Amino acid sequence: MLKQSLGLRLQQKLSPQQIQLMKLIQLSSQALEDRIEEELEENPALEDGTLEQKEETDDWDDSAQEEEAASDDFDGLEDYLTDDDTPDYERSISNYSADDELYEAPIVQTKDMRDILHDQLAMRSLAPQKEALCKYLIGTLEDDGYLRRALVDIVDDLAFSMGLMIEVDELQSALEVIQSMEPAGIAANDVQSCLAAQIQRKPKEGHWALALKVVTKHFASLSKRHYSKIMESLHVNEDELKAAIEAIGRLNPKPGAVAVSGGSLSAHAIIPDFTIEVVDSQLELRLNGRNAPELNVSRSYKDMLSHYKDVKQQGGKADKEAFHFIKSKIDAAKWFVEAIKQRQQTLLITMSAIMNYQKAYFFSGDDRKLRPMILKDIADEIDMDISTVSRVASQKYVQTPFGTKLIKTFFSESMTNAEGDEVSTREIKKILEDAVSEEDSRQPMADDALAKLLKDKGYPIARRTIAKYREQLNIPVARLRKTL
């Protein structure tokens, strides 16, 4: 049986403005620039203040307040037309000073792998069908330059998608044309054949001859670092094998990752959101001044609202609709300017707390001086929610005297050392990294040995934890670290 009833309950919900503010806080400097460009295009009441000269605040007619009650459709008009006590500089936002240098990402002229191959193909005199097959194969290559699909599958694709009936031998002939191009090793089906193709273009003597034998006949042993087995099978000494392996190490296992002068591509550049400097033995924090252009509410839109002050009594439906449209755009522009201000304040407050918390690190640059720090530590310090701190740290960088760092790397869990003190896991990872870099590469230490080494240094860590940290540091297992 259905039954209706009334009830009251409290429920916390974020307003659309609060949600948008959270999204703005999470954006990096480059993403924020795109967001501001989008807002400038969508909202004509928002202007880039760097393009126009700011005007002094106009004296609005306060007598309109007496007429306001005559029309409910124009309630609140004076909130937009009278700002005698609020100068323009408080209703705009400038994120940089005139002394700041404009930083732009460099433009690099490049061509990708497929452009290079098409250019070389154009220099060949091939039959039309063979040239078409070559172009199809170039389009089938993966980004690293490999052709991992079987030729028989590509033959089926050509038959079903293009109605082109060919034999595998004909497609193999087209593939050989591509494999003869630069860079060497292009269109190989695996790493072994890729390296072999590159070695075959080298001199057929000395360490290159031995390198070809190692790659073609003992690639599995090479991958597993079974050097003694290779030396025994090929009847070579350690120095000879070492020279061959060094030669193999100079080859390119990803021939597709090439770039030459010609095309146009924007180079990826990290623009730090903050800068920390040591000035007179004190840490100085600055927010990147180029986060956004100078923004302000359009004067022409405020003038249009002023016009409605005179026509509102006799205005028709069209005038009222125009009024509401202008009012909504000015609302949105004012909110956006205020949101940018709040974003800057939140970023500065949060990063300032992080800087003070990790003061020892920013003075020295030593990872071992990083204190254990989690999001809650900073959230409690600045009396904000953990999610806000997470958004500030997300995708943002800080330029320090010791390089540009991702802010999230300053956060780490803690553990207790042998003396009962809490230390950061970053400190432990740094000690682990140093231990691996100083080990004998001919006899690298296994995880058990690394765990014992750290325990002797006062960090009782389990072997599985060592393995986890090693993977996070992209350090391979001992077998793969072994060299001659």
Which pairs from 370-373 meet CB under 8 Å and 24+ separation? 370/410, 370/412, 370/424, 370/426, 370/427, 371/424, 372/412, 372/413, 372/414, 372/415, 372/422, 372/423, 372/424, 372/425, 373/410, 373/411, 373/412, 373/424
Task: Give the pLDDT confidence of 333-363 residue by residue, as tens digits.
Answer: 888 888 888 888 899 999 999 999 999 999 9
> What one-character-per-residue DSSP string does 373-388 give?
B-HHHHHHHHT--HHH
pLDDT of residue 382: 93
Give pLDDT < 50 ranges for the chain: 53-92, 94-103, 105, 107-108, 259-267
pLDDT of residue 354: 94
Nearest Cα to Cα of residue 32 among 312, 261, 271:
271
Task: Give the pLDDT confidence of 50-109 residue by residue, as tens digits.
Answer: 555 444 434 434 433 433 433 444 444 444 444 444 444 444 454 444 444 444 545 445
Region of residue 248 (left: phi > 0; alpha: psi -120 to 50; beta: else) = alpha
pLDDT of residue 172: 92
- Is the pTM above the cut of 0.85? no
* Measured distance CA(481)–CA(475) in Å, rounded: 8
pLDDT of residue 311: 60
pLDDT of residue 316: 67
pLDDT of residue 103: 47
pLDDT of residue 250: 87
pLDDT of residue 290: 65
Domains with residue ranges and CATH for the chain? 16-93+269-359+379-400 (no CATH), 113-249 (no CATH), 412-484 (1.10.10.60)
